[in-house]
Homo-oligomer: A and B are copies of this chain.
Amino acid sequence: MATRARTDPATEAWTLLIKLMWSQRGRLAAWAGEEGLSPMQVHALRHLDPERPVAMSELAESLVCDASNVTGIVDRLESHGLVERRSTPEDRRVKRLFLTEAGELTRGRLLGRMHAPPPELRALTPAEQRQLRDLLRRALGPA
């Protein structure tokens, strides 16, 4: 009945995605809480790299927030013993973030839970799951 915009497939797909992701809100908060962390601290942990120490400014960009916030977020992760700040020799203004042993373990635990597909995706058949994966690979670029 002339609700053409509403039934555009990309719009409907996106609206369903928003709904799906929002429905996961509570899970992350709960998992973070079990580790004594806030959701934002978990996201910070998620964007740190055990292989390649990340600078404060890089983390600010990953978290899409002002650099001044990152100071506090990293302060709290550091006080939990999960992260260490170290100045770089090349440019002593820059501080890189190293995961401690505990930090790597916590990060691994959280990532394992976060990356586990929710019931909605597990409800799809294996063929559908592959189809979804392929579509998202396509959408998110060749990388």
Contacts and interface: CB of A to CB of B under 8 A. Distances in A.
Contacts of A133: 9-10, 12-13, 16
Interface residues of A, number: 43
- Tell me what chain A mostly uses at the interface: helix, strand, loop, or mixed: helix
A115 B18 contact: yes
A69 interface: no
Contact of A132 (B9, B25, B120, B122): B9
Interface of A: 9-22, 25-26, 29, 43, 64, 114-118, 120-124, 126, 128-133, 135-141
A16 B64 contact: no
A43 B139 CA distance: 26
